[in-house]
Amino acid sequence: MGSLRKKVRFCASVVLLLLSFLLLLGSLSLVGATDIPLGSTLSPSNASSWSSPTGTFSFGFFSDRQSPSLYLAAISYSGGIIVWSAGGSGSGSVDSAASLQLRADGNLCLVSGSGALVWESGTASKGVSAAALLDSGDFVLKNSTAVVWDTYDNPTDTILQSQNFTFGQVLRSGVYSFSILQSGNLTLTWNDSITYFNKGFNSTFTANKSLASPVLTLQANGIVSLSDASLSTAVVIAYSSDYGESDDIIRFVKLDSDGNLRTYTAVRGAAVASRQWAAVADQCEVFGWCGNMGICSYNDTSPTCGCPSRNFDFVDPDDHRKGCKRRTEIQDCPGNSTMLQLDHTQFLTYAPEISSEQFFVGITACRLNCLSGGSCVASTALGDGSGFCYLKASNFVSGYQSTALPSTSFVKVCAPALPNSPSPPGELRSRSSNLKGWLVAVLVFGTVSGLMLFEWGLWRCFCRNGARYGPSSAQYALLEYASGAPVQFSYRELQKSTRRFKERLGEGSFGAVYKGVLASRTAVAVKQLEGIEQGEKQFRMEVATISSTHHLNLVRLIGFCSEGRHRLLVYEFMKNGSLDSFLFSGESSSGKLSWSTRFSIAVATARGITYLHEECRDCIVHCDIKPENILLDENYNAKVSDFGLAKLVNAKDHRQRTLTSVRGTRGYLAPEWLANLPISSKSDVYSFGMVLLEIVSGRRNFDVSDDTGRKKFSVWAYEELEKGNIKSAMDKRLAEQDVDMEQLKRALLVSFWCIQEQPSQRPSMGKVVQMLEGVLAIDRPPAPKAADGGLAAVTSSSANTSITVFVTSSPAQPSSSSSHSIASSSLVSKRNLDEPTSSPVVVADQSSS
Ligand SMILES: *[C@@H]1O[C@H](CO)[C@@H](O)[C@H](O)[C@H]1NC(C)=O
Ligand SMILES: *[C@@H]1O[C@H](CO)[C@@H](O)[C@H](O)[C@H]1NC(C)=O
Ligand SMILES: *[C@@H]1O[C@H](CO)[C@@H](O)[C@H](O)[C@H]1NC(C)=O
Ligand SMILES: *[C@@H]1O[C@H](CO)[C@@H](O)[C@H](O)[C@H]1NC(C)=O
Ligand SMILES: *[C@@H]1O[C@H](CO)[C@@H](O)[C@H](O)[C@H]1NC(C)=O
Ligand SMILES: *[C@@H]1O[C@H](CO)[C@@H](O)[C@H](O)[C@H]1NC(C)=O
Ligand SMILES: *[C@@H]1O[C@H](CO)[C@@H](O)[C@H](O)[C@H]1NC(C)=O
Ligand SMILES: *[C@@H]1O[C@H](CO)[C@@H](O)[C@H](O)[C@H]1NC(C)=O
Ligand SMILES: *[C@@H]1O[C@H](CO)[C@@H](O)[C@H](O)[C@H]1NC(C)=O
């Protein structure tokens, strides 16, 4: 019996030993399971997976969130959060019959159910002997000694905590990608073409030195940092908002499908991670977030996507981020397209687009140039004072609408433009407001069709006239003329209408002016521009700005010609020529200008300049106000000409004036021109003041003669005013009884206010008009100091600041011929043509400094 017990005990211990041996074996085989042998396969059908040693990460098939019937072969954190996927989330989606194969040759392949190769690691015959999923989340293919390939070096859209993301690597999510530049800048790019985010987070990066091999890492405390061999310490790029917390969490950086780069924190077991930091603070600045033609805006706090107008539909009504499409494509409505205006809207413009399609023009030009440009689909006038206009010729544009944006955008649509109703789309609306919407729509439609009928009427009307006077481009011309757009003439047309430039009206600072007659029998003045260095496109833009500036007291630009090297401007013809010929040339002609005519010319000129300065959308500084540029029509109504041309010639640098080519006319140039101080609208005020003085006196402001005590007239006139001798400044040719002494006094006082040396002392043109009209009281002006020293003083002061000023004409001589020493401009009446003109253009140069 005892031996039996012994036997039983023995057997039991053997069994126990065997069991524990088996257990040991089992546990050994578990440890060994971290190495995945070649030939292993995963499949969505049997939910098999590979785990990291502690089970933190697993590699298997997970259903694709974007299309739940499909799967991704992915590495996920604690069963929920995907940190890597074979082929990326866009192109790695497979059906349920797919498989992930670690093949015998060492290649890791994702094969779809139909047997097609979807993705591979490309490690065939590289000596891979096994694979493993590490607890850091890195999946490695290795030989006996080293890692041959791993997911850390081949990231998809996520960077894990212990992962090094280096220069040369790319995160991708849909059309978006993220990478580090050699300089250390972080960049986000749309469709590998448009970089909408490029930031050096430390000033050491923004200098153009390049780092050795910048590496982006996410530290355990939540800091995103950038390290490099050439930096002593890692540079902090971002702090996570839960900085320092270190529970059982993982942190990662992810390029989201919305094109933003964010840091996340996820607690073990949680299915969603929480956002901590985003690279692009304003989601609407992510290019293409709302798809093509989509307009991004904020409803309360979240960004939403809409369409520019009711000329558009959502591409996918269930997913507004897919963008918008025109109800009628532009090519399906030839000749019937229009520009839809979107206020407070900008079409996102980033490098490289930003450098190729930008212009300095006015808002109207920005609209018209897109309308006339065949490939242009939309345009944006920044409206931030820079005068920038971006034309969008690409087939993908991305909009941003916000009341905080000063920009105005235009989209080309088939007429009629149907702006969105003010209430945001998709909002629940009651029936009554729906009705209102309809009413508005009907009203808008009615108005638009009314306008079109009107234009059609105009067109018809013109068509008949045109037929009588010969066709050419005349029909087109009136349509354009009526719509405010400049008419484009061919060089031949202008040659013909000016009879080969036969009748020369005058010579201005920008080129000669000829008389012409258009096919419609409209008399015009054709100005042949010289020294235009601009490209064709920019020239057109400037022209559009000029021609869109309409005012009763501004000479109207009718059209232009830009052909090869020819640049011509076509203006309305002003029968009575320029003011200087009446003021300064002899008894007979000035006799025609009564005091009341002179005074109304002064007020009209001031109104025209006021419009340029204050009332049109883009402030224009004329830069060359002088009697030669004030033209008179058949009723002696004054109009200012040549505005906007200074910009045309000096357009190379619009914001920063260089002194290399100051254009303007001595005697009328404000002192700041020569002292290299900023030019503003107040510089025009100065010139106007001089002109006003000349209108009163009938002589040049810089005239020096015996009866002015050998002082410049403007200086002498002020002294006379001080003494109370108002009448001595008056033109002797005016009959005293015809002159309104009140008006005369006002004009003199205003002119001395205008020619103050300090720009801030001068009134604005708006005030000038009011003062002339007697609406505003006028104080006694202080002595206009600039008048004393004149040009000589300014010249020497500029010389002190090592700027040399060259005056191309000899100084004004106290002679009778001085009345012609100023270059006549544009439409000087024929009388003056045979008289010699010198060119007192002041050219200042910095070359000696
Ligand atoms: C899962 O399915 C694949 C292919 O169908 C097969 O090769 C693999 O052995 C299966 N795994 C398990 C654990 O059943
Ligand atoms: C393992 O791979 C590394 C890197 O590819 C290589 O340098 C090394 O020679 C390989 N070792 C063997 C034993 O193949
Ligand atoms: C990341 O870079 C650091 C510093 O160069 C290095 O110590 C670490 O091993 C790297 N990690 C990986 C996963 O390569
Ligand atoms: C992305 O760029 C490619 C050419 O690089 C172009 O063919 C494609 O149309 C672009 N995608 C979009 C949405 O514009
Ligand atoms: C890096 O970003 C800064 C702005 O943060 C930018 O000024 C600089 O041009 C960028 N450098 C490069 C090489 O793109
Ligand atoms: C940028 O690099 C160029 C030449 O590579 C150099 O001339 C220039 O001074 C550098 N600029 C800065 C700000 O370092
Ligand atoms: C840039 O990085 C250097 C080196 O880490 C650091 O000393 C400096 O304070 C950083 N500058 C800024 C503006 O962050
Ligand atoms: C704002 O837009 C989001 C996303 O389109 C939407 O879920 C939310 O309800 C909107 N909120 C309001 C107040 O309209
Ligand atoms: C232009 O479009 C409007 C509105 O669709 C239409 O009434 C008009 O007939 C069109 N004109 C031409 C010339 O096609």
Model confidence pLDDT, tens digit, residues 548-557: 788 889 998 8
Q: SS in 3 state form for 166-223?
A: ECCCCEEECCEEEEECCCCCEEEEECCCEEEEEECCCHHHHCCCCCCCCEEEECCCCE
Average model confidence (pLDDT) for the chain?
78
- Better pLDDT: 8 or 578: 578
**Which residue puts its alpha carbon closest to atom 6 of ligand 9?**
415
Cα 413 to middle of ligand 8, angstroms: 28
Number of the ligand closest to the Cα of 146: 2
Decide if pLDDT at 27 tops 50.
no
CB 183, CB 201: distance < 8 Å: no
Number of the ligand closest to the Cα of 194: 4
Decide if pLDDT at 706 tops 50.
yes
Report the C-alpha gap between 743 and 425 in whole angstroms: 59
Decide if pLDDT at 466 tops 70.
no
Decide if pLDDT at 323 tops 80.
yes
Model confidence pLDDT, tens digit, residues 154-174: 999 999 999 999 999 999 999
Tokens of 609: 């300049």
- Better pLDDT: 434 or 95: 95
Residue among 694, 681, 693 nearest 765 (CA): 681
Q: Is 415 in the pocket of ligand 9 (CB under 6 A)?
A: yes
Cis peptide leading into 352, omega within 30 of 0? yes
Q: Is 432 in the pocket of ligand 6 (CB under 6 A)?
A: no
Cα 255 to middle of ligand 4, angstroms: 20
For range 44-69, the mean pLDDT: 89
**Which residue puts its alpha carbon closest to atom 10 of ligand 9?**
336
Considering only 278-292, 316-330, 568-582, 812-826, which range has the smallest mean pLDDT? 812-826
Cα 201 to middle of ligand 7, angstroms: 9
CB 532, CB 649: distance < 8 Å: yes
Q: Which residues are catalytic?
A: 624
Per-residue pLDDT band at 79 (split at 50, 70, 90): low
- Better pLDDT: 243 or 180: 180
Q: Is 434 in the pocket of ligand 9 (CB under 6 A)?
A: no
CB 324, CB 312: distance < 8 Å: yes
Residues 6+ away with beta carbon under 8 Å from 410:
339, 340, 341, 342, 366, 367, 370, 371, 378, 379, 380
- Better pLDDT: 29 or 188: 188
Decide if pLDDT at 175 tops 80.
yes
Strands 261-267 and 511-517: unpaired
Model confidence pLDDT, tens digit, residues 539-550: 887 888 887 788
Residue among 740, 613, 592, 633 nearest 688 (CA): 613
For range 284-291, the mean pLDDT: 96
**Which residue puts its alpha carbon closest to atom 9 of ligand 6?**
208
User: Would you say 392 is a known binding-site residue?
Assistant: no
Give the helix/strand (H/E) hosting 768: helix 765-773
Q: In this prediction, what percent of the chain has a pLDDT beyond 90?
A: 39
Tokens of 613: 């300065």
Distance from the Cα of residue 439 to its chain's centroid: 36
Q: What is the pLDDT of residue 13?
A: 56
Q: Is 162 in the pocket of ligand 3 (CB under 6 A)?
A: yes
Q: What is the pLDDT of residue 31?
A: 39
**Which residue puts its alpha carbon closest to atom 14 of ligand 4?**
396
Task: Give φ, ψ of 13 to 5 degrees.
Answer: -65, -35
Number of the ligand closest to the Cα of 144: 2
- Better pLDDT: 264 or 353: 264
CB 553, CB 618: distance < 8 Å: no
Give the helix/strand (H/E) hosting 253: strand 249-255
Q: Is 48 in the pocket of ligand 1 (CB under 6 A)?
A: yes
Report the C-alpha gap between 742 and 762 in whole angstroms: 21
Q: What is the pLDDT of residue 355?
A: 63
Q: What is the pLDDT of residue 3?
A: 54
Residue among 124, 168, 140 nearest 36 (CA): 140
Model confidence pLDDT, tens digit, residues 258-279: 999 999 998 888 888 888 889 9
Report the C-alpha gap between 745 and 238 in whole angstroms: 68
CB 51, CB 32: distance < 8 Å: no
Report the C-alpha gap between 460 and 475 in whole angstroms: 9
Q: Is 501 in the pocket of ligand 4 (CB under 6 A)?
A: no
E strand segments, 38-157: 41-42, 49-51, 57-63, 71-77, 81-85, 99-102, 108-111, 117-120, 130-133, 139-142, 147-150
pTM score, whole prediction:
0.56
Per-residue pLDDT band at 434 (split at 50, 70, 90): very low
Model confidence pLDDT, tens digit, residues 625-635: 999 899 999 88
Highest-scoring range by mean pLDDT, 162-166, 296-300, 560-564: 162-166
Q: What is the pLDDT of residue 453?
A: 52
Cα 207 to middle of ligand 5, angstroms: 8
Report the C-alpha gap between 200 and 611 in whole angstroms: 44
Q: Is 101 in the pocket of ligand 1 (CB under 6 A)?
A: no
Report the pocket of ligand 7 as residue ranges, CB < 6 Å: 202-204, 231, 233, 235
Residue among 203, 208, 201, 236 nearest 222 (CA): 236
Give CA angle at 431 (427, 435), nearest 5°. Answer: 100
Phi-psi region of 190 (alpha: psi -120 to 50; beta: other; left: phi over 0): beta
**Which residue puts its alpha carbon closest to atom 7 of ligand 1?**
41
Per-residue pLDDT band at 647 (split at 50, 70, 90): low
Map out the domains of the chain with their CATH numbers.
36-150 (2.90.10.10), 158-280 (2.90.10.10), 285-414 (no CATH), 478-572 (3.30.200.20), 643-842 (1.10.510)
**Which atom of ligand 6 is closest in space to residue 209's alpha carbon?**
14
